[in-house]
Structure 1
Amino acid sequence: MSTLSPNRLDPSTVSRLSTLLASSFHEDALTRWMIPDERRRTELLPGFFRVFVELSAAHDGVLTTPDGDAVLLFLPPGAEPDEAALDAAFAAALGEHVDALRTVAGLQAENHPHGPPHYYVSFGAVRAGRQQGGLMSGLLGELLARADAEGVGTYAEASSPGGEAATRRAGFERLGGDIALPDGGPLLRPMWRDPR
C-alpha cells in the first residue's frame, strides 16, 4: 500500500481516480438519488468525484494501492475546507443537480460528530473484478493505524450495505441514527471507530 501526497497527484492520476470512483458509485443509492437520470449520472460523476479527490489531496488524504485499483479518500483532524470554493466547484461539476448535493451536505453537517478530533472518510472504491480481495481493508487499515498512532477517532457514513460491512470489519460501530434523505431517498449510516 502507498500514500499519495498532494504534490504527487498529477492530472492523469486525479482523472484515473475520479473515473474509478465514478464507476464504482454509478449505481450507489446516494448518487442515484442525487442524479436520477443514468446518462446524466455517467456524464457528471467523474467531475463530482474530481472535486473530492482534489479536496482530499490538498489535505494529504488520498490512499491508493500501487496499481491504482483501490482508493480511499479522507480528511484529517482539523481540516477546514473553503466552503464557498467547494460549493462553487460542486456547482460547476453538477449543474442543476447541485441542490441535491447541498441537501445531503446539510444533513451530514447536522449529524457530524463535533466532539473529539477524528479522521473523516468520504469515499472508497475498488476496481470491478478486484473486489473481495482485501484491497479496501488494507487501505482502511493503513488509515486506522495512523489514527491509532495519533490517538484520534475515525468517522464515516456508509451509503451501502457493502460500505457498512467494510467499516464494521474494521471495528467501526453505529453512531446515532441513520441520516434519511428526503422524498424517499436512501439512508446514510454514521459509523465511528475509537482509537486503539
Structure 2
Amino acid sequence: MSPTVSPSSNQLSRPDVARLSALLSSAFHQDALTRWMIPDERLRAELLPGFFRVFVELSAAYDGVLTTADGDAVLLFLPPGAEPDEAALDAAFAGVLGAHADALRTIARLQAQRHPHGPPHYYVSFGAVRAGRRQSGLISGLLGELLARADAEGVGAYVEASSPGGEAASRRAGFDRLGGDIALPDGGPVLRPMWRDPR
C-alpha cells in the first residue's frame, strides 16, 4: 500500500486541486446522490469537477485532505471545530452548479438536521479511489490514518455513507449506524449516518 500524505492548503497546487477533483468526479459520477442532484449524464460529467473542487479547497483550508503518494486515492474531511463560511460556500456551489444548486441545498439542509452537534468529531465528507485500484484497501488505509489521529485526540468520527461500498468501508473501520437514514425527497436515495467513538 502506498504511503499517505496530508497536504495543507498551501501545499495543494492548482494542478493538485484539479487532479483530485477529477478523481472524485469520476468515482462519484454514477453515485446515487450525484445522479439525484444532476440527473442528466452529460451535464453531470460537466459539473461534478467544479462541485468537487469546492470540497477539495474547503477541506484543504482545514488540512483535511489525505491522499496516497501516487494520488490514486483521496479522503476529504473536516476536523473538530471547523466552521466554514456557509454563505461563501453556498455562493461557490451556486457558481458551479447553477440551477442544480437547489438540489444540493436540499441535501445540505437534511444533513444539518441530523448532524451530531454534541461531542467533538472529525467529519468525513468524501473518499475516492481511481478505477483499477478499487478493492485494494486504499480507502481503508486513509480512513485508518484519520481514525488513528481521532483516537490520539480522543474525539469521535462521523460519516454519511451514500453507497453500499462506503458503508462497508465505514463498518470495517468501526463505524455504527447513528439513527435512521436520511431520505432525499421524491423517491431519492438515502444517506446513512454513521458514528465511531474514539478508542
Say if 2:11 is the partner of 1:14: no
SS in 2 for 1:77: coil
Gaps of 5+ in 1: none
Runs of 4+ in structure 1 off by over 3 angstroms are none
Aligned mate of 2:110, from 97, 107, 110: 107
Name the amino acid aligned to 1:80.
E
* CA positional deviation for 1:4: 1.1
SS in 2 for 1:192: strand
Figure out how many residues of one structure are paired with residues of the other and give that number. 196
Q: Give the corresponding residue for 1:183.
A: 186
SS in 2 for 1:39: helix
Q: How many percent of aligned residue pairs carry the same amino acid? A: 82
Alpha-carbon distance between aligned partners in 2 of 1:46 and 1:2, rounded to the nearest angstrom: 22
Name the amino acid aligned to 2:95.
A
Aligned mate of 1:47, from 43, 47, 50: 50
Q: Give the corresponding residue for 1:94.
A: 97
Q: Given the two structures, how large is their TM-score scaled by the length of structure 1?
A: 1.00
Q: How does 1:42-191 map to 2 (within 5 A)?
A: 42-191=45-194
Alpha-carbon distance between aligned partners in 2 of 1:7 and 1:84, rounded to the nearest angstrom: 23
Report Cα offsets for 1:149-188 as digits up to 9, x if no partner.
0000000000000000000000000000000000000000
* CA positional deviation for 1:2: 1.4
* CA positional deviation for 1:138: 0.6
Gaps of 5+ in 2: none
Backbone CA RMSD of aligned residues = 0.4
SS in 1 for 2:83: coil
* CA positional deviation for 1:28: 0.1
Name the amino acid aligned to 1:51.
V
Name the amino acid aligned to 1:151.
G
Report Cα offsets for 1:34-73 as digits up to 9, x if no partner.
0000000000000000000000000000000000000000
